[in-house]
Amino acid sequence: MPAEMTGKMKEEMTDDELVAAARAGDESAFSRLFERHRRLVSRLGYRFFPRRDQVEEIIQESFIKAYFALDDYQGGGEKSFVSWLARIAVRTCYDELRRARRRGESSIGDLNEDEAAYLHERLRDLSANGNVEGAAISRDLANKLLSRLRPDDRMVLALLKLEELSIAEISNLTGWTTAKVKMRSHRAQRGLRQLLRKLL
């Protein structure tokens, strides 16, 4: 009965209370935080990485970083922990994007002839009749094209277009100034257009 009660209490505890318990050494409190927010981190991971193993790695890395940074968490607001964890996850994704780029993973050079021909055809269709909906681009192909962008540009573009965040929210999440976010968004869109123009 007491264990059941403790479990029930954990369910009702706020994030800040769970953080305080985890700081005090309560392992189950951190486990509860993980249960509560792992989906958020998974969703953020899928904004930048196409494979499940990559996303699982982002989830692990983000929660490990969060665990060791619990003492730095200040809390106070209702959504404080979510914002704090999202910042850690976004930072982890950004670091991983940079590492992947350094390793030279998935560059435009990886596009095989069929993919290049397919894209060319789709862009021609689009140019002729303006029908985007039938583009039917595979995720792998999209990843190959998007990974040509600089990690910071890609980060801003994904948060802006997929997460539908405002410039101020992206600025808060990444720690970059709003001017920097605007500039990167503009540069990312221009970069993508140039990339596609080459395939036209």
Q: Residue numbers of the site for another protein (CB under 8 A)? A: 27, 31, 34-35, 38-39, 41-43, 45-47, 50, 52, 55-56, 59-60, 63-64, 67-68, 122-123, 126-127, 130, 132, 135, 137-139, 141-143, 145-146, 157-158, 161-162, 189, 192-193, 196-197
Q: How far is the CB of 49 from another protein (least distance, A)?
A: 9
Q: How far is the CB of 168 from another protein (least distance, A)?
A: 21
- Which of 1, 92 has the CB closer to another protein? 92
Query: Could you tell me the two tokens for 186?
Result: 């503009």
Q: How far apart are CA 122 and CA 199, in angstroms?
A: 10
Q: What angle in degrees, to the nearest 10, is found between the helix axes of 139-146 and 113-129?
A: 90
Q: Would you report the helix, strand and coil content of the chain in percent, each value rounded to 5?
A: 80, 0, 20
Q: How far is the CB of 154 from another protein (least distance, A)?
A: 10
- Which of 42, 80 has the CB closer to another protein? 42
Q: How far apart are CA 149 and CA 184, in angstroms?
A: 11
- Which of 20, 192 has the CB closer to another protein? 192
- Which of 1, 53 has the CB closer to another protein? 53
- Which of 23, 161 has the CB closer to another protein? 161
Nearest to 16 by CA among 88, 64, 83: 83
The DSSP-derived string for 127-192 is: HHH---GGG---HHHHHHHHTTS-HHHHHHHHHHHTS---HHHHHHHH---HHHHHHHHHHHHHHH
Q: How far is the CB of 176 from another protein (least distance, A)?
A: 20
Query: Exposed, middle or buried, 16 (CB in 10 Å: 0-12/13-18/19+)?
Result: middle
- Which of 43, 101 has the CB closer to another protein? 43
Q: How far is the CB of 130 from another protein (least distance, A)?
A: 7
